[in-house]
Structure 1
Amino acid sequence: MTKDQPKKIHIIGSVGSGKTTLAKSLSARYNLPHHELDNVVWQRLDTGDIRRSEKERDEYLKSIVKTDSWIIEGVHYEWVAESFENAEMIIFLDVSYRKRKYRIIRRFILQKLGLERANYAPTLKIFRKMFVWNKFFEEKSRQEVMAILGNHQNKLFIVRDSIELEKIDIWRREHG
């Protein structure tokens, strides 16, 4: 890791925007621990997932944010202000609605074939919910996220495609 490389990165975007893929890539590249916000919300047990209370969830997030380095990723934005505040870089994956729909379908097929791991059982019910969540994000949440992230312009990168991801790396090297 170079001295100008951010050690605290928050990645946000809708279902199918590429958050987990990017987080895993950056985690491996810069040796930063990666945390999925869904795993902050849900306690993953062999017997099934249990939703944490808001207090437990918030304390868990706070324990991650207090560490020296992290990548936090997820669609959640209402209760993660502390992560946004402490992040050295925020990446908003603002991928097109159409591309996200394609990725949801592709992911479901790969999970059903056992070629991609999931934190949840890839059921038809979840598959349908992902389309509902994606549409809700497009119609409502996206604007709310943009408003919240407006307070963090100095460290915000809005990424719509892989070319813009390369620009982040170039900018960081030039301005780090």
Structure 2
Amino acid sequence: MKKTIPKKIHIIGSVGSGKTTLAKELSSKYNVPFYELDNIVWERHKSGDIRRSEEERRGYLNTILNSEAWIIEGIHNEEWVTNSFHNAELILFLDTNYSIRILRIIKRFAFQKIGLEKSNYKPTFKVFLKMFKWNKYFENVGKPGFFEKIEVYSNKLLVVKNRREIKNYFHF
């Protein structure tokens, strides 16, 4: 019997956990649009990014949430994202090993600098260093805070630690 894939998926995890890669893969495989929370926070311009107001973020996110199907991914679990967790059929937490995330941050920066990987931001050394800081913060503060908040949605939460667990769930 073939498993029905949820039409509304929220993927959360730290920097380098594989959120965007998985969102793109699921989007392509199941023909469901995916959205990066960073692009909801930031209005992207060639001259530089502009942070959207909280009202603009909520409006943009609610427009996405009102659509028939979506995959939303990002590290954010602040109050403005709560409606996404509420409306999701599946909340997928990528609990990728900390050292693997460190290696992915390094690999991503190198690939972005030589032009093999596109980014929504300018890959500066300052941003590169911030990614380590954000990764550590997520591990020590964000992750415990997420599990505290998300308890109300535990019936639709799936925590995965590696690619094999993802493949087993989605059958690919």
TM-score, structure 2 as length reference: 0.95
Q: Secondary structure at the match of 1:71?
A: strand
Aligned pairs (5 A) from 1:44-83: 44-78=44-78, 79-83=80-84
Q: Which stretches in structure 2 are left out of the alignment for 5+ residues?
A: none
Match of 1:109 in 2: 110
Q: Which stretches in structure 1 are left out of the alignment for 5+ residues?
A: 171-176
One-letter amino acid of the counterpart of residue 160, structure 1: K
Match of 2:124 in 1: 123
Q: Secondary structure at the match of 2:100?
A: helix
> Residues 105-152 of structure 1, C-alpha deviation per residue, up to 9 Å, x if partnerless?
000000001000000000000000000000101111110011122211
Q: Secondary structure at the match of 2:77?
A: coil
One-letter amino acid of the counterpart of residue 49, structure 2: D
Asked if the contact 1:157/1:168 (under 8 Å) is kept, the reply is no
Aligned pairs (5 A) from 1:1-176: 4-78=4-78, 79-169=80-170
Q: Secondary structure at the match of 1:10?
A: strand
Asked if the contact 1:27/1:33 (under 8 Å) is kept, the reply is yes
> How many corresponding residue pairs?
169
What is the distance in 2 between the residues matched to 1:69 and 1:91?
Answer: 16
What is the distance in 2 between the residues matched to 1:13 and 1:144?
Answer: 12
One-letter amino acid of the counterpart of residue 51, structure 1: R
Task: Name the % identity.
Answer: 55
Q: Secondary structure at the match of 1:91?
A: strand
What is the distance in 1 between the residues matched to 2:57 and 2:149?
Answer: 20
Asked if the contact 2:5/2:170 (under 8 Å) is kept, the reply is no
What is the distance in 2 between the residues matched to 1:13 and 1:150?
Answer: 16
Runs of 4+ in 1 over 6 A off after TM superposition: none
Match of 1:173 in 2: none
Comparing 60-69 with 158-167, greater Cα deviation is found at: 158-167
Report the CA distance between 1:3 and its aligned residue: 8.3
Q: Secondary structure at the match of 2:92?
A: strand
